[in-house]
Amino acid sequence: MIIGTAGHIDHGKSSLVTALTGRKMDRLAEEQRRGITVDLGFAPLELASGELAGIVDVPGHEDLIRTMVAGASGMDLALLVVAADEGIMPQTEEHLLVLEQLGTRLAIPVITKSDLADADWLALVSTELTTRLARSPMRSLSPVAVSVRTGKGIDALREVLNRAAAEVSSVEGPAIRDDLFRLPVDRVLTVPGTGTVVTGTTWSGSVMPGAGVRILPGGETARVRTIESHGRPVPHALPGVRTALGLAGASRSAAGRGSVVVAADSAWRASERIDALIRLAPGTLALTRRTRVLVHHGTAETPAWISVRIPIRGGETGLARVAVERPVIARAGDRFVLRSMSPPRVIGGGEVLDPLPPARADWPEGMAEPDPRARLRALVIRRRRGMPAADLPILTGLPPRAAERAAADDPALERIGDLIVPAALIGHAVVRIGMVVARHHEAHPSEPGMPIATLREKAGGLPEIVKTALVRAVSRGLVSLENGLARAPAFRPRVSGGDAVLRTVIQLVEDSGLTPPTAAELGTKTGRADIAAILRVASGEGFLVPVERDRYFSRRALEEFGRALIDAGKGGDFGVPALRDRLGLSRKYLIPLLEWADRTGLTVRVGDARRLRSPAEAPGPGR
């Protein structure tokens, strides 16, 4: 539980924290000298439930709004502090706007310095606060008047805090530890004997001593040496808790405010652009096509350009792309604050819809759905190369298991290996494969099929999708695969002129016995320019066999040659001369036939001779 302060300068925020916790807030010499808070302060507060909450005290000066935003990120409950003698002031309004944009769940308005005002004035300030907070989207309780000097109202505020903290905890539910670990750094220091120590509020997940971490956006790696919370050693970091990590191997320069510590093996990565739902405060200038702003995300601040789909006017919301000059470590559902460049003031904020958007992406319907499960489909659709499954928790804002369930439960999505893709893409690819094969048959009717590699190339799309679609096309009987070729199951190769032409060529080869003509010679004899295609069809039908690249033999001739080999092999090994004398064939025909016999397993070559292959030498699986 993180409780934070907010309010105008010199309204008594730090004194109030001291009264509640007993811890003095202004630790810096400059703060003590000037009497104002210039940096974040932290203190533990034990609630009635026994839970130890962390209080973050923020500066109230208008020049330190960036520090205030860094402290407000991660607040569960805010103490909106207003001094009784001044009421609502400019920084009160700006701090309230920050809390609203960051989605702080609940605010307790606290009227400090009540000893400086009479009852009527206190009632007036209370009414002013109540009226202003009634216009806020953030829920708030009734104002509590206190005086740090006299102690009046402090115990009553503690009671209200206890009840509010219990309410916020019940709404949040139990902390989810199996999420991706992320800790935005708000302070870095060097401790003798420990080394570099970073502090911040753990936003999600958990980490234990000994674990490897990365410091983003730089990417430096380190190992967690120690973990503390409010000055006490703890066995692990928990979400929503102030945490100090002692990091072995980390340089102080890599871990300043604005950096983020994540688990070393997680999918977190820095974003240079985010797509978001922008909310502008009433009365602000419109955001047009390209507007330069300051973005506050977590504890980081960076200049950015906002490109809107349509102009967003004051008091309105709209979709926009935010191109940041310094990378941020964002996640879907994160809230951020926008400030104008000059004069620098809070103008609104936004919610991250897609923290890692493609460079050029459509905005499908559903992008701005509040439910991350409903938004998931749109996030997948806009990624033409699929969504890496490892990115699911970052792109949905859900813990890993919940994100995987959301993807698995959506019938419109499918997982292929490490990618999540729209199921419709696979269906379209199946249809496309059938069409590509059909067009190939029309263009090349004499070919037995289309090379599978060519089919995959012409089908287009992601290789993973094409591969899956091809398997489904086969299972549905749309395509058959055989010998590296794809064809329609009912397809039968044919030649121009029909079966009569085919029979003529087959007869010429059969009549030639063991001395058939080459393909070129057959083309000359028949006058067919497509003789190669005719021979392929005859081979596919089983009538002819390609023994050489350009010479086909009939089945009958090869059976005759096989019988001759068996006769020759009865006496043991035999050579080319003996077989040549037996068959009366020249080496031009005999050598290719013997090589064919070797390939088909009929014979085995032994030096310059051959012998019949025994059953033990017959080729088997893997041979």
pLDDT tens for 536-549 read 888 888 899 999 98
Distance CA 450, CA 430 (A): 16
Per-residue pLDDT of 407-439, as tens digits, reads: 999 999 999 989 999 999 999 999 999 999 999
- Which among 392, 448, 442, 443 is positioned nearest to 421, based on CA atoms? 392
What 3-state class would DSSP assign to 450?
strand
Confidence of residue 336 (pLDDT cuts 50, 70, 90): very high
Cross-strand bridge partners of residue 220 = 215
Cross-strand bridge partners of residue 420 = 387, 415
Q: Which residue has the higher pLDDT, 61 or 3?
A: 3
At residue 621, the pLDDT reads 40
Q: What global pTM score does this model have?
A: 0.78
The side-by-side arrangement of strands in the sheet containing 480-482 is: 450-451, 485-487, 480-482
Per-residue pLDDT of 466-486, as tens digits, reads: 999 999 999 999 999 988 999
Distance CA 381, CA 376 (A): 9
At residue 203, the pLDDT reads 92
Confidence of residue 552 (pLDDT cuts 50, 70, 90): very high
Most confident of 253-257, 323-327, 343-347: 323-327
**CATH class given for the domain over 182-263:** mainly beta
Kindly state the DSSP code that residue 96 receives in the 8-state scheme. Answer: H
Q: CA-CA distances (angstroms) from residue 217 to 13, 268, 391?
A: 33, 10, 17
Per-residue pLDDT of 92-149, as tens digits, reads: 999 899 899 998 989 999 999 999 999 999 999 999 999 999 999 999 999 999 999 9
Amino acid in position 148:
V
Q: Are 603 and 565 in contact (CB under 8 A)?
A: yes
What is the overall mean pLDDT for the chain?
A: 88
Distance, C-alpha 284 to centroid of its chain? 34
Q: Are 580 and 588 in contact (CB under 8 A)?
A: no
Q: CA-CA distances (angstroms) from residue 592 to 130, 166, 577, 597, 604?
A: 100, 89, 15, 9, 14
Beta carbons within 10 angstroms of residue 231's beta carbon: 9
Per-residue pLDDT of 553-585, as tens digits, reads: 999 999 999 999 999 888 889 988 888 888 999
At residue 489, the pLDDT reads 93
Percent of the chain with pLDDT over 70: 94
Confidence of residue 41 (pLDDT cuts 50, 70, 90): confident
At residue 409, the pLDDT reads 93
Q: Is 95 exposed, middle or buried (0-12, 13-18, 19+ CB in 10 A)?
A: buried
CATH number of this structure's domain 424-487, picked from the four choices 1.20.58, 1.10.10, 2.40.10, 1.10.3470: 1.10.10
Confidence of residue 24 (pLDDT cuts 50, 70, 90): confident
Confidence of residue 32 (pLDDT cuts 50, 70, 90): very low
Element containing residue 77 per DSSP (H, E): strand 77-83
DSSP states of 364-422 as a string? -TTTT-SSHHHHHHHHHHT-TT-EEGGGHHHHH-S-HHHHHHHHHH-TTEEEETTEEEE
At residue 35, the pLDDT reads 47
Tell the residue number behind the tokens 């091809």, with chain if given. 470
Distance CA 233, CA 252 (A): 21
Q: Are 121 and 86 in contact (CB under 8 A)?
A: no
- Which among 49, 9, 6, 240 is positioned nearest to 158, based on CA atoms? 49
DSSP states of 256-317 as a string? -TT-EEEETTS----EEEEEEEEEEPTTPPPB-SSEEEEEEETTEEEEEEEEESS-B-TT-E
Confidence of residue 34 (pLDDT cuts 50, 70, 90): very low
Phi-psi domain of 193 (left: phi exceeds 0; alpha: psi -120 through 50; beta: other): left
Amino acid in position 319:
L
Q: Is 478 exposed, middle or buried (0-12, 13-18, 19+ CB in 10 A)?
A: buried
At residue 33, the pLDDT reads 45
Distance CA 283, CA 290 (A): 19
What 3-state class would DSSP assign to 509?
helix
What token pair was written down for 89?
């002031």
Distance CA 341, CA 293 (A): 5
Beta carbons within 10 angstroms of residue 587's beta carbon: 11
Per-residue pLDDT of 431-472, as tens digits, reads: 999 999 999 999 888 888 899 999 999 998 888 999 999 999
At residue 132, the pLDDT reads 94
Confidence of residue 335 (pLDDT cuts 50, 70, 90): very high
Beta carbons within 10 angstroms of residue 517's beta carbon: 16
Domain ranges of the chain: 2-172, 182-263, 271-410, 424-487, 513-623
Kindly state the DSSP code that residue 11 receives in the 8-state scheme. Answer: S
What token pair was written down for 348?
């609104």
Q: Under CATH, what is the fold of the domain 271-410? A: Elongation Factor Tu (Ef-tu); domain 3 (2.40.30)
Q: At residue 26, does pLDDT exceed 70? A: no
At residue 619, the pLDDT reads 52
Topology match between the domains 2-172 and 182-263? no
Amino acid in position 345:
R
DSSP states of 482-493 as a string? ETTEEE-TT---
Tell the residue number behind the tokens 């080394």, with chain if given. 195
Our CA angle for 177, 179, 180, nearest 5°, is 125
Distance, C-alpha 196 to centroid of its chain? 31
Per-residue pLDDT of 59-102, as tens digits, reads: 766 656 777 777 778 788 999 999 999 999 988 999 899 899 99
Average pLDDT over residues 328-349: 92
Q: At residue 31, does pLDDT exceed 60? A: no
Kindly state the DSSP code that residue 434 receives in the 8-state scheme. Answer: H
Provide the Cα torsion 561, 563, 568, 573; round to 10°: 80
Kindly state the DSSP code that residue 517 receives in the 8-state scheme. Answer: P
At residue 176, the pLDDT reads 65
At residue 487, the pLDDT reads 93
Q: Are 74 and 23 in contact (CB under 8 A)?
A: no
Average pLDDT over residues 227-255: 90
What token pair was written down for 509?
């080869």
Q: At residue 617, does pLDDT exceed 80? A: no
At residue 582, the pLDDT reads 87
Q: At residue 509, does pLDDT exceed 80? A: yes
442-471: burial string, b at 16+ Cβ within 10 Å, e else = eeeebbbbbebeebbebbebbebbbebbbe
**CATH class given for the domain over 513-623:** mainly alpha
Tell the residue number behind the tokens 């009421």, with chain if given. 87
Q: At residue 498, does pLDDT exceed 70? A: yes
What token pair was written down for 257?
């405010």
313-347: burial string, b at 16+ Cβ within 10 Å, e else = eeebebbbbbebeebbbbbbbbbbbbbbeeeebbb
CATH placement of domain 2-172: 3.40.50.300
